[in-house]
Amino acid sequence: MAPAVEQFVLRWGDLGGQWGVNRSVAQIHALLYLAERPITAEDIADALGMARSNVSNSIRELLGWKLIRRVPVLGDRRDHYEAETDLWQMATRIAQGRKQREIDPAVAALRHVVDAAEDDPRVSRVARDRLRAMQGFVATLDDWYDQMLAVPPNKIMALIKLGSRVVNLLSFGRGKKGADKDGKD
């Protein structure tokens, strides 16, 4: 394996660790992302020096995230895998997964807490207000997140390319300071 590829695999694996994805999973994903053609589980285990079982479990997780897919290869009974290479698809799927697994439960928990606080006279007025504020805020973000995930990738890309200029293109460019016209507000 070329040093650069190896580096990428290692870095990506490490990165995954920081983001709550386990290292093996991230490494396998990295390897498949750079692979020219579909490869088998055994090849993966071989290339990365990890146990077959570990590869099997990790593949299962990656399939769950829809970041890789199984592809049949003529004349070979073994399963081969290839990665999703459309980066927007990738990003979207990761974002969806994280939202479902982390954000949604948080929102639910928060709602529950706020409900409990409403009925409790021992909770100060200040605390109650802050809880409500937090709940509203999170709900707003959550809603936004959903909407953005529903917008087709190419349009999102256009939005991003616009960057902060989007602010000026819309009506609320009428802020106090008049002349910040170059995306640097």
List interacting residues with DNA (CB under 7 A): 17, 20, 22-25, 40-42, 49-54, 56-57, 59-60, 70, 77-79
Give the nearer residue to a second copy in terms of CB position, either 70 or 101: 101
Reference 87, options 67, 59, 69; nearest CA is 67
Strand-strand pairing, 76-83 and 39-40: antiparallel
Amino acid at 57: N
Give the nearer residue to DNA in terms of CB position, either 42 or 180: 42
Phi, psi of 158 (to 5 degrees): -60, -45
**What is the radius of gyration, based on Cα positions, of the chain?**
23
Give the nearer residue to a second copy in terms of CB position, either 51 or 183: 183
Surface-to-core class of residue 156, CB atoms within 10 Å of its CB (0-12 exposed, 13-18 middle, 19+ buried) = middle
155 binds, among a second copy, DNA, none (CB under 5 to 8 A by kind): a second copy
Residues forming the site for a second copy (CB under 8 A) = 2-5, 7-8, 11, 15, 18-20, 33-36, 85, 87, 91, 102, 106, 109-110, 112-113, 116-117, 120, 122-124, 126-127, 130-131, 133-134, 137, 140-141, 143-144, 147-148, 150-152, 155, 158-164, 166-167, 169-170, 172, 175, 183-185
Reference 39, options 68, 16, 3, 6; nearest CA is 68
2 binds, among a second copy, DNA, none (CB under 5 to 8 A by kind): a second copy
